[in-house]
Amino acid sequence: MFRPEIKVLDVSIRDGGLINEWHFSDEFVRATYQHLSEAGVDYIELGYRASKKMFDPEKFGKWRFCDDEDVWKIIDGIESQSKLACMVDIGRVEDQDILPKERSPFSMIRVACYMKDINKAIDLANMIMDKGYESSINIMAVSTNVEREISEGLNDLSKTTIPIVYVVYSYGAMYCEDITHLVKKYKAALPGKIIGVHTHNNRQLAFGNTIQGIIDGANFVDASVFGIGRGPGNCCQELILSFLQNPKYKLRPVLQLLQDYYLPLREKIEWGYIIPYMITGNLNEHPRIAIAYRDSPDKDDYVKFYDTLTTPEPDPQLKHS
């Protein structure tokens, strides 16, 4: 699938940080940046930008904040054509946390939101673009919205200059038919804008659904090394670069990075396809339920987890003889 306009954005540090509160070493982040640059990845997302008034720096690693000075140190001396990105959440970042683009190492700052907050996201993305950055809006958990909500949100976005809008199925509940429906719906509602896809691997469909999004016309795709990410993780970077058949992408640097850094990390921190995440994907539930269960003594009692989520609570008004 060679289409030169397709851009690949790596989310390894940002989404991967959700499993260890962004406590990656500088060596790990620098190696990720260097190898992905050598691989020709278009954008490398190093984490979140967030206010330290809202998140305790003693608890969270530096990639929860992505201070410009920390990023400059990471990229120092590395030649790269890749652009740097970070993500912001509604209500978790302040104007003063984002410097003008000419004073920052970042090229893109993406805005994550739920459909109910689309107008807040538009305001935040406009502020980011006014400071000189590229931006996008990533509409999370779209599988929980009814068609009317999606149509209204897209109508609001159609009136903006925000260039990129992502289909994000945060709970891993979608099949390829759902991706086709949403990508085509976004494209029809947002003429002239670029559609992106961000997938999760609850049902081992992250790669397949990313391919489906590409087939349907999405030109921004998210992926991560070895699929690292919260819960079941994301579309694997090594798979998507192989699929795209674009000669600018090189697989070997990603395999070297995976071998030297991500495999050893996988021995210490769990991510990837595991049955409780499959169950939450089937039920269109947030993975936090499965994440908590994987930290319990019963973590491998899959039947108990399934029964807990699918057995109706007894009516407290009923009296049993």
> Structural domain of residue 295, as residue ranges?
275-310
Q: Give residue 171's pLDDT band: very low, low, confident or very high (50, 70, 90).
A: confident
CATH number for 149: 3.20.20.70
Residue 1 lies inside a defined structural domain of this protein: no
Question: pLDDT tens, 60-115?
Answer: 999 999 999 999 999 999 999 999 999 999 999 999 999 999 999 999 999 999 99
pLDDT exceeds 90 at position 170: no
pLDDT at 206: 96
Question: pLDDT tens, 241-273?
Answer: 999 999 999 999 999 999 999 999 999 999 999
pLDDT exceeds 80 at position 321: no
pLDDT at 314: 58
Residue 315 lies inside a defined structural domain of this protein: no
Residue 145 lies inside a defined structural domain of this protein: yes
What's the mean pLDDT in 8-14? 98
Do 27 and 64 fall into the same domain?
yes
pLDDT at 12: 98
Do 122 and 261 fall into the same domain?
yes
Q: Report the number of distinct structural domains present in the chain.
A: 2
Can you give the pTM of this predicted structure?
Answer: 0.94
Residue 318 lies inside a defined structural domain of this protein: no
pLDDT at 191: 98
Question: pLDDT tens, 267-318?
Answer: 999 999 999 999 999 999 999 999 999 999 999 999 999 999 999 775 555 4
3-state helix/strand/coil string of the chain: CCCCCCEEEECHHHHHHHHCCCCCCHHHHHHHHHHHHHHCCCEEEEEECCCCCCCCCCCCCHHHCCCHHHHHHHHCCCCCCCEEEEEEECCCCCHHHCCCHHHCCCCEEEEEECHHHHHHHHHHHHHHHHCCCEEEEEECCHHHCCHHHHHHHHHHHHCCCCCEEEEECCCCCCCHHHHHHHHHHHHHHCCCCEEEEECECCCCCHHHHHHHHHHCCCCEEEEEHHHCCCCCCECEHHHHHHHHCCCCCCCHHHHHHHHHHHHHHHCCCCCCCCHHHHHHHHCCCCCHHHHHHHCCCCCCCHHHHHHHHHCCCCCCCCCCC
Do 130 and 209 fall into the same domain?
yes
Do 280 and 145 fall into the same domain?
no
Do 34 and 161 fall into the same domain?
yes
Do 94 and 204 fall into the same domain?
yes
pLDDT at 247: 96
Do 245 and 302 fall into the same domain?
no
Residue 2 lies inside a defined structural domain of this protein: no
pLDDT at 317: 55
Do 75 and 179 fall into the same domain?
yes
pLDDT exceeds 90 at position 176: yes
pLDDT exceeds 80 at position 319: no
Do 177 and 280 fall into the same domain?
no
Question: pLDDT tens, 147-165?
Answer: 999 999 999 999 999 999 9
The share of the chain scoring above pLDDT 90, in percent, equals: 94
Do 281 and 203 fall into the same domain?
no
Do 286 and 197 fall into the same domain?
no
How high does pLDDT run on average in the chain? 95
Do 221 and 247 fall into the same domain?
yes
